Copies of this chain bind each other. A is one copy, B any other.
């Protein structure tokens, strides 16, 4: 983890295949799954890792396929969606530092969902053999992975509860609020993805999303263009209903998904 390789885009053949990038060790040092692991293991994993870049809209993993490595989101947004003909059904939105379908990659499952880059996305990929070897060798690495899986499970449960217990407008409001909190550093929070993808993630149609935006606007949360404006935090939180355990539980679990 010492030498610093320069990151350079290797020109790709303009096809659907992702661009391959050089990987900087710095990228990895910060990753949650590397936390606290043995120095030489980190080096080994790094050697087995590569980087790929995906353009917005491109598919990373197709539903029904297995995942040929441990994918980690380095930057960008990836959505997990089940696509059946016309209908798309979003499950989760991954962002930087999240693991992509760790369960499927570690146990050679067929993925239930398609992973798709919603923005330009850089991923770090550790091939399965190396990951499995690391898993067998380092309990700490295993624990790191489990932690991330725990967080994703928690997100899934929240999603199930939201779908059952909250209205479309409440889900929307709560989601936008989380988005705002996640961008607390920026001057103004911004909606980073297309509205129809947001709709899919929240389990509603694009038309309904449009209407619900007006509803939440009546309760203190506006969206002008792409920027999100919280005019009355207390009011909108009240409106969205009880957020079970609003504290950043998932982030403590190394999950940054939306």
Contact = CB atoms under 8 A, between A and B. Distances in A.
A146 interface: yes
Contacts of A109: 150, 154, 249, 253
Contacts of A84: 165, 242
The complex is assembled from copies of this chain, and their number is: 2
Contact of A91 (B106, B160, B242): B160
Interface of A: 63-64, 80, 82, 84, 87, 89, 91, 102-104, 106-107, 109-110, 112-113, 135-140, 142-143, 145-147, 149-154, 156-161, 163-165, 203, 242, 244-245, 249, 253
A82 B162 CA distance: 11
A137 to B, nearest CB: 7
Give the residue among A110, A113, A146 with the most B Cβ atoms within 10 A.
A146
B142 A146 contact: yes
A154 B149 CA distance: 11
A181 to B, nearest CB: 19
B145 A112 contact: no
A162 B138 CA distance: 37
